[in-house]
């Protein structure tokens, strides 16, 4: 892994208001390349060693909080590698990151890549609007799917991307893939504005599906969550009366069967 690849990971882990400044980035790069003496690092900069030492202290404190483990100038590579393993990130060593992004200013940006394989090494991302790609939020994870879509997430909530759509779980991605295979019109995680007993509110079904002239809602149900019967009655009052809950484990194991069952229910309803 190159230092630019490592910095790209650090940028995604840090909050927007905690990005590395120029001195911290200098210290990070020098330590990554094996120069762990602040006096030695100072020789490669316009700053004195005391200033570098103070900036280094703040840097390792910041990274320790971000990576949730003690980070020091002599263990940063090990920390990054453990982070990649924990979050199952596949990071290819390519010119896309190593060269084309090396001159880009990524501070404060949401960094994202659709595919980081060596076949993309000719792609020039400098000057590109990186928000057009799959979003890498504050934390990186990898999700496998049939179309090799890269999925990345935040510390608060993991967001899975598939074909430019956003999902809250891998189970949702599995159902979306199965629906796609049936050529069915569907809207994943689409917010609806409804009048509720508490006033006007947003409601977000997992899947709003149109099949044979009928609308229905397919929800993924986890054993530790309760079904929202009040919300279901609200949708039913607006003409969407077919609302089916499917077990999350089944969604992972047999998504195609679940979709077929739901479409049968919808066509007969």
pLDDT in tens, 49-95: 888 989 999 999 999 988 889 999 889 999 988 888 776 544 444 33
Residue 145, judged by CB atoms within 10 A of its CB (0-12, 13-18, 19+), counts as middle
Average pLDDT, the chain: 76
pLDDT at 106 over 70: no
> What would the two tokens of residue 231 be?
């919300």
Please give the pLDDT value at position 86.
76
The better pLDDT of the pair 86, 184 is held by 184
Residue spans of the domains in the chain: they are: 3-132, 170-268
- CA–CA distance, 115 with 193 (Å, rounded to integer): 36
Which residues, 6 or more positions from 223, have their beta carbon under 8 angstroms from its beta carbon?
Answer: 247, 248
Q: What is the separation of C-alpha 138 from the centre of its chain, rounded to a whole number of angstroms?
A: 8
Spatial distance between the Cα atoms of 44 and 54, rounded to a whole number of angstroms: 16
Model confidence at 229, in pLDDT bands (50, 70, 90)?
Answer: confident
CB-neighbour burial class of residue 102 (10 A; exposed 0-12, middle 13-18, buried 19+)? middle
Predicted pLDDT of residue 209: 96
Q: Within the chain, how many helices (H) and strands (E) appear? A: 10, 10
Q: Comparing 62-66, 112-116, 171-175, which segment has the lowest mean pLDDT?
A: 112-116
User: Is the pLDDT score of 154 beyond 70?
Assistant: no
In angstroms, the CA 269 to CA 263 distance is 10
Question: Higher pLDDT residue, 154 or 203?
Answer: 203
> How far is 230 from 200, CA to CA, in rounded Å?
14
Tokens encoding 42: 């100072």
The C-alpha torsion from 88 through 92 and 96 to 99, rounded to 10°, is 110
Question: Residue 60's pLDDT is what?
Answer: 92
d(CA 133, CA 110): 10
Of 20-24, 45-49, 119-123, 126-130, where does the model show the most confidence? 20-24
DSSP assignments along 88-109, one per residue: T------HIIIIITTTS--TT-
CATH number of 170-268: 3.40.960.10
pTM over 0.85? The answer is no
């Amino acid at each position: 892994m190159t230092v630019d690849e490592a910095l790209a990971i650090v940028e995604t882990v840090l909050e927007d208001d905690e990005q590395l400044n120029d001195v911290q980035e200098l210290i990070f790069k020098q330590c990554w390349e094996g120069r762990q003496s602040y006096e030695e690092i100072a020789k490669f900069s316009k700053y004195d060693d005391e200033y570098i030492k103070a900036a280094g202290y703040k840097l390792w404190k910041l990274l320790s909080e971000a990576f949730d483990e003690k980070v020091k100038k002599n263990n940063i590579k090990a920390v990054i590698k453990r982070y990649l393993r924990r979050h199952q990130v596949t990071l290819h060593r390519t010119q896309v990151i190593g060269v084309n992004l090396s001159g880009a200013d990524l501070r404060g940006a949401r960094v994202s890549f659709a595919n980081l394989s060596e076949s993309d090494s000719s792609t020039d991302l400098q000057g590109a609007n990186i928000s057009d790609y799959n979003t890498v939020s504050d934390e990186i994870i990898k999700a496998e799917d049939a179309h090799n879509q890269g999925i990345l997430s935040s510390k608060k909530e993991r967001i899975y991307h598939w074909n430019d759509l956003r999902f809250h779980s891998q189970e949702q991605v599995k159902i979306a893939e199965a629906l796609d295979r049936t050529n069915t019109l569907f809207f994943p995680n689409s917010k609806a504005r409804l009048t509720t007993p508490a006033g006007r509110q947003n409601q977000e079904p997992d899947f709003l599906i149109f099949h044979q002239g009928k609308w229905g809602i397919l929800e993924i149900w986890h054993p530790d969550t309760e079904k929202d019967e009040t919300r279901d009655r609200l949708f039913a009052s607006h003409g969407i009366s077919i609302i089916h809950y499917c077990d999350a484990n089944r969604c992972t194991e047999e998504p195609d069967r679940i979709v077929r069952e739901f479409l049968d229910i919808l066509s007969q309803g």
